[in-house]
Chain A
């Protein structure tokens, strides 16, 4: 499977900038989401109602369409950890405070599948359209579904994920005792065009994605099993991109991977439940640009009891 387009809106200068992986900056308290001019991607009539999560997703989705030249993908698959939080909070607030008739727009846009639905509307696409929401593994589940599609009769899949931060979320994370994390609760979206066909826009190969929910085994064992299933081993992995929650010490993760280099991704993207999608874009562009790196493993333990794996390989390897 080939990754023929990728597009990310994040706190890095990642949108429409292939060189972004060489310009990474560590997140600080002043970092902000870097957004494009959405009017270039979304019609004014559609744009006026959209919350951040929809705007980010639609812009990234359309960017992937443009990059790959695939105007009508065979499926649109989205992962989101918490869905359309801004509209959900707005309608929740209205439903508890307004007596009588309540404006419907935020209710309509509160459902998780608003993202994939709006993309299908914008593309006039009638194909498979599904939304996965399994907290920290939502993106991996969307990827696994895409792999199923590509093994069926589909050729091109638009897959991605998005999550949005709202002030209330930061407050809740704070109250749950994660003060350091709450400052870096971020929004972000990443979309990809996956294809069975290698084209002149192909950047890397997706080998596999796999999840273990409510893991009860030794992580080392689970890692080796995943690599074995894909006929490889840690010796062949040049870089591990890890997604974890603040309380985890990076040396604990490094210890799992022997001498393979581990880069924690949350220092660049901040915390949202689908930040493994940011890792996949980072991995794809790294494999595309750095010929010394052949294989990258994305190791997602943002939620300690759940593990997500995604394995990518360079086009040459």
Chain B
């Protein structure tokens, strides 16, 4: 059974929709800048979505309180949903991913509490991650299977994978899958406490990389089976071919030096997709720019692909690390890569990592056909996920 992708939606630091994101990728224009909308004592480099909460609320015509995570998810989910209609013959679900949920509102509530101000109790009602997703579902009129995945930075990829598995087992015909995360003081201070937040522009896969820049945003893709396609008449943009999730079981935050979990994730996803390593046209790497991730991921790529690592790049230098949204945003980029036969440049790279000598793609490369894209997402707790996308062959 094929799983068709018939809609994509994205909001990130490099654009408020798919078109703007694609243009920024092409223009090699980073969205990582000093924060504008988020109050901070000192200058923080981050991939901020260039719209305030107030603008998002007005634009989406929703009622407050609503978390920024919900708002960002809603923008991307609406774009991917693209005005599709509900139909009792198409069992439709929504799976979103988030790591912070409504933490942006929780911080405001907690600060009021600390300052002994009058607390706005309604702010805390958006805290739980399930609420983040329910707000998106309710705006889109989706009821039934509504779920949230929270596996830190691999959450988005895991939401996509779960959607595919539910469809393969005939539980759903159509499912909107993706994720969103807002920038928060909590996560920024968190990555600083781990000493992996860089105050310079992030340099994925560079020998002198010194940490990540956070980002924020949302990404969604609409998955449909043949039965659903026959009713909606939507045109498939790409297919979801393979997926896998594994545990590194090495350390609470760090990835293993031998890349065990990541190696397993990539290998298993290839197996599910029934593809050989040589079949992969492009790898959108997790590539956060932390010394640990990029080394471990490079080792895993060498473990699987040997001397013939396909062209690869990390797009985190454009968007910042959008945590739970990253796997979903990068899934949209993967679909765009397949549609346009393009491999994205890895910005800010100059020197290969000494131990692995892997060189990422550094220019906008549209010379070869892109048939398949492999996308990695790795998270805290040793959570490793790989998703593989391919061109639509024929609809059957």
Interface positions of A (Cβ within 8 A of B): 76, 81-83, 91-97, 101-104, 107-114, 116-118, 120-121, 123-138, 141, 144-145, 148, 151-152, 172, 175-176, 211-216, 273
Contact = CB atoms under 8 A, between A and B. Distances in A.
A95 B185 CA distance: 7
Contacts of B199: none
Given A128-B246, A130-B149, A96 B143 contact: no
A213 B128 contact: no
Given A81-B128, A101-B193, A107-B194, A175 B121 contact: yes
B319 interface: no
A117 B247 contact: yes
Given A211-B147, A214-B143, 14 more contacts: A102-B192, A110-B186, A113-B150, A113-B383, A118-B381, A124-B249, A128-B247, A132-B147, A132-B150, A133-B129, A151-B169, A175-B121, A176-B121, A211-B146
A172 B249 contact: no
A46 B253 CA distance: 14
A99 to B, nearest CB: 9
Given A91-B186, A95-B189, A126-B264, A134 B143 contact: no
B151 interface: yes
B186 A133 contact: no
A111 B380 contact: yes
A212 B252 contact: no
Interface in B225-277: 245-253, 260-261, 264
Given A95-B189, A102-B192, A213-B137, A135 B247 contact: no
Contacts of B261: 126
A273 B252 CA distance: 25
Contact of B247 (A76, A104, A111, A151): A76
Interface of B: 99, 101, 103, 106-107, 110-111, 114, 119, 121, 124-125, 127-131, 133-134, 137-138, 142-152, 158, 162, 165-166, 169, 171, 185-186, 189-190, 192-194, 245-253, 260-261, 264, 379-383
B245 A213 contact: no
A115 B338 CA distance: 37
Given A92-B186, A121-B249, A214-B137, A113 B124 contact: no
Contacts of A123: 249
Given A121-B252, A148-B165, A96 B193 contact: no
Contact of B381 (A103, A111, A128, A215): A111
Contacts of B260: 126
Given A112-B150, A132-B147, A145-B162, A138 B130 contact: yes
Given A131-B150, A132-B149, A152 B111 contact: no
Given A76-B247, A92-B110, A130 B158 contact: yes
Contacts of B150: 83, 111-113, 131-133
B328 to A, nearest CB: 15
B246 A134 contact: no
B296 to A, nearest CB: 14
Given A138-B130, A172-B121, A96 B111 contact: yes
Contacts of A138: 130
A134 B146 contact: yes
